[in-house]
Amino acid sequence: MKDLMTLLQERAGVQAAVAALAAKETGGAALSAEEVVEFTKLSAQFDDLSAQIDRIQAAERMAATVAKPVTGALPAQPKQAARQPGESLGIIVRSLVSSGGDPRAAAHYAETQCHAPDIAAALNTGTGSAGGFIVPPGYVPEVVELLRPASVVRKLGARPIPMPAGTLTMSRHTAGSTASYVTEGTDIAVSQPAFGPLTLSKKKLVAMVPVSNDLIRFSSPDANGLVRDDIVQGIGTREDQAFIRDDGTSNTPTGLRYQAAGGALIPANATVNVQNVKNDLGKAELSLLNGNVKMIKPGWIMSPRTLVFLQNLVDGNGNHVFPEIAAGQLRNKPYAVTTSIPDNLGAGGDESEIYLVDFNDAIIGEATGLIIDISKEGAYMSGGNLVSAFSRDETLVRAITEHDFGLRHIPSVAVLTAVKWKP
């Protein structure tokens, strides 16, 4: 039986799909026969989920109403300190590792060693799978929120949307309506905005994170945070690589680089000077503006090498060309830096890229769920060498999540290529 959080997430996903169909019709485009059937089906599914949610909430209210106070003295319980965001994930992982992956033993550890009775209850009633332990839905949003600072795409404003069924279809605006002047008595030409489908389907991301067993043995909130950060950083780094430069093959998302239109791939001027740098950045801005992009959440993504070059760039009088960089802005737009944009592209192996994106049009479809599995005997690759977790007194934590990425408006990304700017 699905719990309340799962049902709420499913209903949110259905509502998003209904809203996409409604937006298409509101924009003036008629729904196809298949879309009308789909709208009716989604409406019925929304009503069914709402009824299930209402019944569960009613049952919870009734249980609270008839609950009787416990008489007599109760043994003193240690006061549970307020947790940091995502610390619950660290407790879940530490508990599973300490128990060898047994959820019942993990529940005992969470209650007695971590003083987390809520997590103990979740572990006792949680769901196992052939691939590991499924983190209860109530704790998954904490992890997703922590990915925001770990992922530049999320940090700059890409919008996460629940995808509980594993797929999500939205309308993508491909062309606007047009107007024209006419003479008296002439028929008015009819034009409508053009829409196309944006279909997202879940892609499995697996992070393999070695965790020191010393951290597992510590029973402090700091240890919980370190375990949490190792896992989130592993997921966030690979997620950024996918959302920026993966090409959609081998069951990966299609990143910004391969969603950009051909005309939005703009080679930087081979002659590097102040005016050419300004001109190249302006070309990226002009690409979005010419595509009628609203520029609601515009932002730049670049490599660390590019950032240092722009920080050091001065004019003939020794003045910084982009002083606003110190405030986190470039040409009045926020920027983010990531090593997921390489500096070894091109025939000479010395080129990089700069991305300008209106992240209001960037969508991350998130299938609910996070699966955790552990191994104390496994091995992993580090620097090209095979490392034994057992010999290093480490535990391998495998975290599995599923998502996809897409743009609702293709002109919302421009890529400055062949960037050879070096400090």
Three-state SS string over 126-156 comes to: CEEECCEEECCHHHHHHHHHHHHHHCHHHHC
Backbone angles phi, psi at 200, to 5 degrees: -110, 140
Give residue 331's pLDDT: 96
- Alpha carbon distance 37, 51 (integer Å): 21
Give residue 74's pLDDT: 43
What mean pLDDT is predicted for residues 300-324?
Answer: 96
* 240 Cα distance to chain centroid: 8
Please give the helix or strand (H or E) that residue 111 lies within, else none: helix 103-112
**Cβ neighbours for 202, distance < 8 A, ≥ 6 positions apart:** 163, 166, 167, 365, 367, 402, 403, 404
Q: Answer with the residue of higher pLDDT: 302 or 149.
A: 302
Give residue 315's pLDDT: 94
Ordered DSSP codes for 8-39: HHHHHHHHHHHHHHHHHHHTTPPPPHHHHHHH
Give residue 221's pLDDT: 62
What mean pLDDT is predicted for residues 212-229?
Answer: 72
- Alpha carbon distance 82, 88 (integer Å): 11
Backbone angles phi, psi at 253, to 5 degrees: -65, 160
* Contacts of 24-32 spanning 24+ positions with Cβ under 8 A: 24/171, 24/195, 27/171, 27/173, 27/192, 27/193, 27/195, 28/177, 28/192, 28/193, 29/192, 29/193, 29/194, 29/195
Q: Is the pLDDT confidence value at 246 over 90?
A: yes
Least confidently predicted of 30-39, 90-99, 130-139: 130-139
Percent of the chain with pLDDT over 90: 37
- Alpha carbon distance 92, 122 (integer Å): 9
Residue-level length of the chain = 423
Query: Encoding tokens for residue 355?
Result: 């991305």
Backbone angles phi, psi at 382, to 5 degrees: -140, 115
What mean pLDDT is predicted for residues 338-343?
Answer: 95
Q: Answer with the residue of higher pLDDT: 367 or 416.
A: 416
What mean pLDDT is predicted for residues 283-304?
Answer: 96
Dihedral class, residue 100 (left if φ above 0, else alpha if ψ from -120 to 50, else beta): left
Looking at the DSSP bridge assignments, the partners of residue 419 are: 352
Please report, as a single letter, which amino acid is at residue 423: P
Which of 407, 301, 409 lies closest to 364 in space, CA to CA?
407
State the CB neighbour count (10 A cutoff) for residue 92: 28
The pLDDT confidence band at residue 17, using thresholds 50, 70 and 90, is confident
Least confidently predicted of 160-164, 297-301, 362-366: 160-164
First-to-final CA distance of the chain: 58
> Does the model's pTM come out above 0.85?
no
- Alpha carbon distance 106, 95 (integer Å): 5
Q: Which residue has the tokens 């070059």?
A: 309
